[in-house]
Structure formats: structure tokens, C-alpha cells
Chains A and B, each alone.
Chain A
Amino acid sequence: MTEMKYTEDHEYLRVDGDVATIGISNHAQEQLGDVVFVELPEVGKVCAKGEEAAVVESVKAAAEVNAPVSGEVVETNGELESNPGLVNEDPEGGAWFIKLKLSDKSELDGMMDADAYGKFVAEQG
């Protein structure tokens, strides 16, 4: 059973058991424009919630992707290194950034589902 969660910082988490697959939302990639580079952490890195986990760059902007939850990086999406444009093409599918093994599932409480996130984006204008 997987469920999609979103943060106010425009990251998504696809939670499957105690592993969350994390990337940036479709809205975020639209805001960034053409993504040209993604810097990913090393597998095994333990991230605290809010700590910088990855960096995504477009031509004219750079954004830090902070770990939305605490956990250990168990896998990274190596394809993004050779094909960063995938973030624009399939942000919430094939262009995931990292998989985190959650250390505290309660951190997911209160995160938005897809509907709530859609409203949040619309309100932000």
C-alpha cells in the first residue's frame, strides 16, 4: 500500500512500508524551469528532518531539497545524473531523487495528500 504525501516545500514522499521515495512535485519543476543538474547524497547518509539531502539546479536557479523526514538514504536515482531533464518530464514518477528508510513514521503526520497539496498550490498563486 503506497500513499503520496506532499510538503509545503514542494517535495513529495511515496511511502511504502518504512521506505519513502522522495522527489520534487510537478509544480516545483514548473517553477524551476529546465532542470540541468541534480546532486544526490551518498547511499548510507543519515539525514535529520530538514537537513539538505540533494540539490536541484535549473539554468538560473538552484534549490536545496531538504529531507522532509529523518532517515537513512538507502537508494539514489542515478539516472538523474546523466539525464536531469527527467525531472521536468516525469517528476513524480521516474525522476524520484532518493529513497529514505524512515526513522520516525510519525513525522509523516499532518503532511498533505494530493488534494490538499493541490489546494495549497492554488492558494499560493
Chain B
Amino acid sequence: MSMNRGGRPTSAQGGCSSDSPTFTGNRALVIEEPLLFEVGDVSKTGVDLDEPEVHEKRLGALERSGIGLPGLTEPEVMRHYVRLSQKNFAIDSGIYPLGSCTMKHNPRLNEKMARLPGFADVHPLQPQSSVQGALELIDTLAAWLLELTGMAGVAMSPKAGAHGEFCGMAAIKFAQRAKGDARSIVLVPESAHGTNPATAALLGYKVRDVPAREDGTVSPDAVKEALGPDVAAIMLTNPNTCGLFERDIVAIADAVHEAGAYFYCDGANFNAIVGKARPGDLGIDCMHINLHKTFSTPHGGGGPGSGPVVFSQALAPYAPVPYVVRNGEEFALVETSGAAEGAEPFGRQTAFHGQMGMFVRALAYMMSHGSDGLRQASEDAVLNANYVRAGLRDVMTQPFGDQVCMHEVLFDDSFLKDTGVTTLDFAKAMIDEGFHPMTMYFPLVVHGALLIEPTESESKASLDQFIAALRDLVRAAKGNDKERLTGAPHHAPWARLDETRAARQPVLRWTGDAPAEAAE
């Protein structure tokens, strides 16, 4: 059987019992909070509305009698959600070095701008004459993205990175179909984000692996080997998920084009090279840009994202609707394929025009940085990652040797060999030290991977403390202090959670029933 190598212990272990108990179960600032359904009441509401005048109803025979939704007054709502918020780690609390996720600072100016009524309180289907500024903003952001990437066209509507991947690969499929050149295979290295093979499969492609070299990058020879008349495209992340720039990328692009295929670049790591190199100069045909990574729109607990896709000249005509066109000082939306002139859009991916709220934030970020600040941000991100590498290279192990990395540095778990401490233990111990753990067990090509992306938002002092703490954890793992790691976290509001139980007996909503006994 084929096996995904991301295995790690997932049942709860350890736990703390030494703390002196409190009557409430609270711990000073950490206050227990029941579920909304346990504190709310269906008769309560925190919104004052006047009952409408009696009138004839036109709801057919479909009127609803009850829902079962509890309500809370405003003071209760504030407590409930403030208490919940206090159980989250966040960028604003401390270093959040999740490799490949780019947890950089989220400037509050961006939040303020996105809330201007002229952006937040306009409707996507208002007459276009009443939203000229909104269309101008989309057009301006598009122009910045094109300049930064050196590409020919951009689709703004994709809602997130994976939606952008679909957009790019759909354009490739559509373009090849238009040429009567349907192909069935997409090349994806095993180090890729899971969204790459999932997207290719969704579009009906078979996925073929491309092996990496000893140094963690892809060789043009391996690509040539895998190419063939049936290969539609290659999906490559650059810088790759091992934190390395694909130094033969131009040769790879040439080989791909020679075989009649397209080059899809996963732009998740574009933040390392903004202002340093342009995807268009590297021979890339399309690339999605995660505005929530590279351009600092907030991650918000897992979204919303935004994933515009830039296209080469060859693919630009197939970009989806809608898009904005500029005629002098006037802006107009092309909303349907039938209305597209000189283009053959592959269709529509979503209602309306994309993640406007994210566009405003991203443009505010770009304008704030400018050409010089964006370049500086990339340099600082790369500098910080290499500084972490330099600070840990003698005590942790790097799967591809000690070489310069881009914005993130990858370690494997060989430094933990024979200690009885796993990558997971190591990461959980970081929680006790006041850090968010790094990305673990990804990329899959590296055993027990630990992928650290500090971003440009960290000061030197912050990194120095981080490095010193990790060095101390390595010392503890190799010495007689293993319990610090194997039972971690000891100081978090929750001990390790039983993921096995959650998956074996899925409870996905509150029902009011007593919880079932733990699985043995």
C-alpha cells in the first residue's frame, strides 16, 4: 500500500495536574467560556428592532415557526468573544514562523482603508457609473501586480490561492483545447503544496511526479525526462517549499515550452523575490499570488484569502470574467464571456468580482512600501530566515546541507534521532516558550520536516530570543529534560487534544447531549 509519510502521534498524552485547582476552573486571565448554546437563550436578543406593522404576508405556505438559535445581549456577546479571543495565539502576540504561510505583520492602515464606505459599503451590482472608484482600485492593483511580476494579464476574481491555481490551470486547459491539443498529464514534484495535485486532478489531469536533486531543487534533466506530448503543464513552486530558489528555472521553462507545455508557478512564496526577480522574466506562464501572504492581508483564522493570477501573453486571452477595462478616465467591467472583445475567457469562477476587501488592503500595503520598501521587505525576509539558519545550523539538521535559503529555512528530524523526542514534541514545546510552532511534516519529501519562516516583521532581538530558545530545546531533547518536550505543552490553556477521538466519533455540532465516553 502507498503511504503518506506525515504520520505523527495524534492521541492525547501527558497533561498537567500539578497546578492548584480553582473553584471556577479559571486561571486568572484565562477564563473558561462555555459554548454560545450553553450561555444564550432563544428569547434574548442583542439587537433592538421594532415589530413591523401588520400586513398581508406573501410567503406562500412556507412560514417558519422556530429555529432554536440562542441570542445574547451585547455585554454578553462581548464577554463571550473576548474570552474566546484570549485563547488564540496571533501574530500580534508573538513570532508565528509557519513556513509557507507568511505570517507577517498586518498593518492597521489597511483595515482602516478597507472600511471606507466607498469600498466596504458598495454593492457589486450597482450601476457601474456609481462605482468608478472601486473599478479604479481594481485596475490600479492589477497594474501593480503586473509590474511586479512582469506578466501580460491578470485575473483578479479568484477567491484564494487554491482558487487561483484552478484559474491558472483552467486557462491552460482551455488554451490547449482551443488549439486542438488536449493533453492529459501535469507534472508536480512531491514537495508541492497539496493544492497543486488536487487542482490538477480536479481538472481531470493525471499527476506525474518530478524527482528533486540531492540539493532539494529540480533539475532540467529530470523535467525533460518527464515531459512528453501528453504533458499539459508543470506546476512548480518557486522559491520551492524547501525554501530554495529553483536556480535552473529558466532552463526548466525553456524545456517545458519546447515540449508544447505551460509553466504554472505556485506563487505562495513570491514574497521572497518581490522586487528582486520577475516571474515573467523567468519564463512562467501563470502564477497565483496569495494576497494574504505576500501582501499582508490578514489571515483571519484561516481566511478570507485572495488569489489573483497573472498570465503570460500566451495565456492572457483565456483569463476568466469578470475583468476591468479602462477607457481613458472611465472604467468598465466585462462580466460575461459573450461581452469579451479580443479574448476567449474560460468562463466565470465566482459570482461578482473577487475579494475587494482584500484588494484594498493589499494596495494599501503596496503603496505604503513602494518599489523600494517592497524590495527591502523581500531582502529582510530572506535575511531573517538565513539568520535563523545560521543560529541553528550547528544544533539542528538540514536535509540538503547548509546552503543559503530564501525566506524560509527547512530542518529535518535527524538531530532528534535516538532522543525519543519527535518533531511534534519539539514543536509543542515551542508553545510553552511563547512561540507558535513552525510548519511541521511539510514538505512531505523531508522526514519530520520543520519549516521556519520568520518573515521581515521580526526584529533582530526577537530572532535572537527565538534562536536561543530553540537551542535550549535541542539541549533538553538530547539531555535529561525530555519531559519538557514529550509532554508539551505544559503551559497552554489546553493540553494536547485527542484528534483520534474527534475523527473516530465525529461531533460536528452542539446538540445538548452529554459527550460520549472517550474511545479506548
A residues lining the B interface (CB < 8 Å): 9-11, 24, 28, 31-34, 36-37, 56-66, 84-85
Which residues of the other chain, A, contact B500 by a CB distance below 8 angstroms?
34, 36, 59
Contact B504 A36 (CB under 8 A): yes
Contact A65 B1 (CB under 8 A): yes
Contact A63 B4 (CB under 8 A): yes
How close is B508's CB to chain A, nearest CB, in angstroms? 14
A–B complex contacts, Cβ < 8 Å, 12 sampled: A28-B1, A28-B3, A33-B9, A34-B10, A34-B500, A37-B504, A60-B8, A61-B6, A62-B4, A66-B1, A66-B2, A84-B504
Number of A-B contacts (CB under 8 A): 59
Contact B8 A9 (CB under 8 A): no
Contact A59 B2 (CB under 8 A): no
CB-nearest residue of chain A relative to B504? A36
Contact A34 B11 (CB under 8 A): yes
Contact B441 A60 (CB under 8 A): yes
CB-nearest residue of chain A relative to B9? A33
Known: A36-B500, A59-B499. Contact between A85 and B519, CB under 8 A? yes
Which residues of the other chain, B, contact A64 by a CB distance below 8 angstroms?
1-2
Partner of A31, one of B7, B441, B499, B504: B7
In the complex, which residues 468-511 of chain B have their Cβ closer than 8 Å to any Cβ of chain A?
Answer: 499-500, 502-504
Contact A33 B1 (CB under 8 A): no
How close is A5's CB to chain B, nearest CB, in angstroms? 15
**Interface size range of chain B in the complex:** 10 to 19
Known: A33-B7, A34-B11. Contact between A59 and B503, CB under 8 A? yes
Q: Give A60 to B4 CA distance when docked, in angstroms.
A: 9
Contact A31 B503 (CB under 8 A): no
Which residues of the other chain, B, contact A37 by a CB distance below 8 angstroms?
503-504
Q: Which 4 A-B pairs have the closest CB atoms?
A: A36-B503, A34-B500, A59-B10, A61-B4
How close is B450's CB to chain A, nearest CB, in angstroms? 16
The proximity string for B residues 1-22 relative to A, scoring 1 for CB distances below 8 Å and 0 otherwise, is: 1111111111100000000000
Which residues of the other chain, B, contact A65 by a CB distance below 8 angstroms?
1
Which residues of the other chain, A, contact B5 by a CB distance below 8 angstroms?
61
The proximity string for B residues 446-482 relative to A, scoring 1 for CB distances below 8 Å and 0 otherwise, is: 0000000000000000000000000000000000000
Partner of A58, one of B1, B7, B441, B519: B7
13 further interface pairs, Cβ-Cβ under 8 Å (given A58-B7, A58-B10, A66-B1): A10-B3, A24-B1, A28-B1, A32-B7, A33-B7, A36-B504, A37-B503, A57-B503, A59-B499, A60-B7, A63-B1, A63-B3, A85-B504
Q: Give A31 to B9 CA distance when docked, in angstroms.
A: 10
In the complex, which residues 1-57 of chain B have their Cβ closer than 8 Å to any Cβ of chain A?
Answer: 1-11
Q: Give A84 to B41 CA distance when docked, in angstroms.
A: 38
Which residues of the other chain, A, contact B499 by a CB distance below 8 angstroms?
59-60
Q: Give A60 to B503 CA distance when docked, in angstroms.
A: 10
Which residues of the other chain, A, contact B2 by a CB distance below 8 angstroms?
9, 63-64, 66
CB-nearest residue of chain A relative to B519? A85
Partner of B3, one of A32, A34, A59, A85: A32
Which residues of the other chain, B, contact A32 by a CB distance below 8 angstroms?
3, 7
Q: Give A37 to B441 CA distance when docked, in angstroms.
A: 21
CB-nearest residue of chain A relative to B3? A63
Which residues of the other chain, B, contact A59 by a CB distance below 8 angstroms?
10, 499-500, 502-503
Q: Give A60 to B9 CA distance when docked, in angstroms.
A: 9
Contact B6 A60 (CB under 8 A): yes
In the complex, which residues 155-179 of chain B have their Cβ closer than 8 Å to any Cβ of chain A?
Answer: none
How close is A88's CB to chain B, nearest CB, in angstroms? 9
Q: Give A10 to B10 CA distance when docked, in angstroms.
A: 22
Q: Give A60 to B5 CA distance when docked, in angstroms.
A: 9
How close is A115's CB to chain B, nearest CB, in angstroms? 21
